[in-house]
């Protein structure tokens, strides 16, 4: 065979020629039998779907590993000490600020009435090369994720109440996100954060364009609803969770409450989710029923999973659990030693509080509400820092969460043991919904209109029905929050050895 013939056989044209007839016959056969065409298409779609799911799972897994790595990389930083004449330094910061007034309350009110001023204050950053106080604030801001909240609280105690109130107005972008800062100051600072973020959401980012000129853009709905409301946020980050937002909200009066509960929501705990208002409604029913004896902190102050794929992974709870454990020390320092704290978690939030119990934390009792589990890789008393802490669990028969409770160990997947079976846990009865004609669900919708007055709490909807006011389940949850005796279920787990 000549070299020219060899090249011709290897050329694209030579390779295509022998295939023409078979391909033509195959095409003709598909024209006669349409199913022959559809089958390969179906196969390709199945392959694409499987590949898409695999890639999605891989991305979620990698995202979880990244989150966990970031959490493990954090370390505590030293809290700076105050020096010099603090009152004079605060006066100097006030003189340079765009807001005037002799009273921090009046200055706050003026800033809330002026969206541009609120935005300017939120954007203000303390000068690390300025006064000793300004430099200390800059240090606190840069290390806020790795500070001992108790030591931060001591810093502000030394600063004094009036000066702290001024800093919440002068530097709300610092105080609002600073664990350990007094709750009252953080609540005031977050009012300015909300005002600034609400107004920013109504503007178009980037350069002016013909189609944006003289065009009104509606404010972000979940922020707009807060304007003029009396809701109080210890933390509110509108941009966390990829723009979905995160929050820590206080309901009730910490000064007068004899009991405090930290309630951790289930999945999709974002400002942009309906859960933002739903858990407020749920917490408020308990606070209102307790007549001033109870304050509830709805804690969703971390990145949160959304959807069943993300919620099946433990990485979000691993990061959130450490932050939650730290928050309990912050809370204890601010309310004193004599007020009992209940740590309660619903659904995915149960996995968060369970895993938080593997860290040092402050809680007089723990309550799992339709909980996803005891926490990633928690299967025995040896995994808990305080195995004998009073622990309760409430899950209705037929609740879909039961399918994920107690899953066997898989790296970064699942949420540990079933709280309902965990040794030493007191299982609570779920009973029935209220049969009162005025009874409503957790959205405020009449049970009579829904035709479910007095029904047994069970099945798919029981995951939410445990929160319906005046139901047997709701009464049991409230009893635990108030330190009273709840009604136990008929069967109970084995006692915790040694307790």
Whole-number pLDDT of residue 329: 97
Neighbour count for residue 3 (Cβ, 10 Å): 7
Is pLDDT at 410 greater than 60 in this prediction? yes
Burial class from Cβ neighbours inside 10 Å (0-12, 13-18, 19+) for residue 208 reads exposed
**Residue 214 — very low, low, confident or very high, per pLDDT cuts 50/70/90?**
low
Q: Are the beta carbons of 274 and 291 closer than 8 angstroms?
A: no
177 or 202, greater pLDDT: 177
Task: Name the average pLDDT for the chain.
Answer: 86
pLDDT in tens, 265-289: 999 999 999 999 999 999 999 999 9
Comparing 68-82, 156-170, 244-258, the range with the smallest average pLDDT is 68-82
Which neighbouring-strand residues pair with 203?
Answer: none
Whole-number pLDDT of residue 105: 95
What does the DSSP assignment read for 211-230? TTTT---PPPHHHHTTTT--
Q: Describe the chain by its helix, strand, coil percentages, rounded to 5.
A: 45, 10, 40
Cα 33 from chain centroid (whole Å): 55
Whole-number pLDDT of residue 21: 39
User: What percent of the chain clears pLDDT 90, i.e. is strictly above it?
Assistant: 74
Is pLDDT at 74 greater than 60 in this prediction? no
Is pLDDT at 326 greater than 60 in this prediction? yes
Whole-number pLDDT of residue 24: 36
- Integer Cα distance of 301 and 303 in angstroms: 7
Comparing 197-206, 327-336, 392-401, 467-476, the range with the smallest average pLDDT is 197-206
pTM of the full structure: 0.84
Whole-number pLDDT of residue 207: 64
Tell me which fold the domain 234-499 belongs to: Rossmann fold (3.40.50)
**Residue 311 — very low, low, confident or very high, per pLDDT cuts 50/70/90?**
confident
3-state SS, one letter per residue, for 352-364: HHHHHCCCCCCCC
Domain ranges of the chain: 3-73, 77-201, 234-499
Helix intervals (H) in 270-403: 275-289, 308-311, 315-335, 348-356
Whole-number pLDDT of residue 102: 84
Whole-number pLDDT of residue 66: 43
pLDDT in tens, 220-252: 999 999 988 999 999 999 999 988 999 999 999
- Integer Cα distance of 131 and 82 in angstroms: 11
Mean of pLDDT values over 364-382: 96
**Residue 19 — very low, low, confident or very high, per pLDDT cuts 50/70/90?**
very low
Mean of pLDDT values over 410-433: 94
Is pLDDT at 60 greater than 80 in this prediction? no
- Integer Cα distance of 279 and 100 in angstroms: 38
- For residue 80, give the DSSP letter: P
Question: CA angle, corner 494, sides to 488 and 495, nearest 5?
Answer: 85
CA distances 499 to 367, 427, 495, Å, are 18, 17, 8
Residue tagged 């000068």 (tokens): 127
Is pLDDT at 26 greater than 90 in this prediction? no
């Amino acid at each position: 065979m000549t070299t020219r013939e060899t090249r011709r056989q290897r050329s694209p044209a030579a390779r295509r020629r022998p295939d023409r007839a078979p391909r033509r016959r195959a095409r003709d056969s598909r024209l006669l039998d349409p199913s022959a065409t559809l089958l390969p298409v179906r196969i390709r779609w199945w392959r694409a779907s499987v590949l898409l799911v695999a890639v999605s799972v891989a991305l979620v897994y990698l995202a979880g590993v990244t989150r966990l790595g970031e959490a493990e990389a954090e370390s505590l930083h030293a809290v700076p000490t105050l020096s010099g004449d603090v009152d004079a330094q605060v006066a100097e910061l006030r003189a340079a600020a765009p807001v005037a007034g002799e009273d921090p309350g009046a200055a706050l009110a003026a800033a809330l009435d002026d969206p541009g001023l609120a935005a300017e204050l939120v954007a203000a950053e303390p000068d690390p090369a300025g006064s000793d106080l300004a430099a200390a604030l800059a240090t606190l801001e840069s290390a806020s994720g790795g500070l001992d909240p108790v030591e931060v609280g001591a810093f502000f105690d030394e600063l004094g109440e009036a000066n702290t109130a001024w800093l919440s107005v002068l530097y709300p972008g610092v105080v609002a996100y600073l664990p350990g800062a007094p709750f009252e100051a953080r609540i005031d600072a977050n009012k300015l954060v909300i005002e600034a973020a609400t107004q920013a959401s109504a503007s178009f980012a980037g350069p002016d364009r013909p189609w944006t000129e003289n065009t009104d853009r509606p404010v972000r709905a979940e922020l707009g609803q807060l304007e003029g409301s009396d809701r109080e946020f210890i933390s509110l980050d509108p941009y966390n969770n990829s723009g979905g937002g995160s929050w820590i909200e206080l309901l009730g009066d910490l000064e007068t409450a004899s009991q405090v509960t930290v309630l951790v929501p289930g999945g999709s705990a974002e400002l942009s989710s309906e859960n933002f208002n739903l858990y407020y409604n749920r917490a408020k029913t308990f606070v209102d029923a307790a007549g001033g004896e109870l304050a509830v902190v709805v804690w969703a102050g971390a990145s949160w999973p959304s959807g069943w794929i993300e919620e099946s992974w433990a990485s979000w709870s691993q990061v959130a659990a450490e932050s939650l454990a730290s928050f309990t020390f912050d809370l204890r320092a601010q309310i004193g030693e004599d007020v009992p704290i209940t740590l309660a978690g619903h659904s995915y939030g149960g996995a968060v509080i369970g895993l938080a119990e593997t860290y040092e934390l402050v809680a007089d009792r723990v309550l799992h509400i339709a909980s996803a589990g005891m926490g990633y890789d928690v299967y025995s008393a040896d995994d808990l820092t305080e195995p004998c802490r009073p622990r309760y669990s409430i899950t209705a028969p037929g609740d879909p969460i039961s399918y994920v409770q107690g899953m066997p160990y898989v790296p970064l997947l699942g949420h540990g043991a079933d709280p309902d079976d965990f040794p030493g846990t007191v299982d609570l009865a779920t009973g029935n919904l209220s049969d009162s004609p005025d009874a409503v669900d957790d959205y405020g919708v009449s049970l009579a209109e829904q035709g479910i007055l007095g029904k047994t709490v069970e099945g798919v909807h029981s995951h939410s029905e445990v929160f319906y006011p005046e139901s047997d389940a709701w009464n049991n949850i409230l009893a635990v929050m108030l330190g009273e005796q709840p009604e136990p279920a008929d069967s109970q787990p084995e006692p915790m050895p040694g307790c």
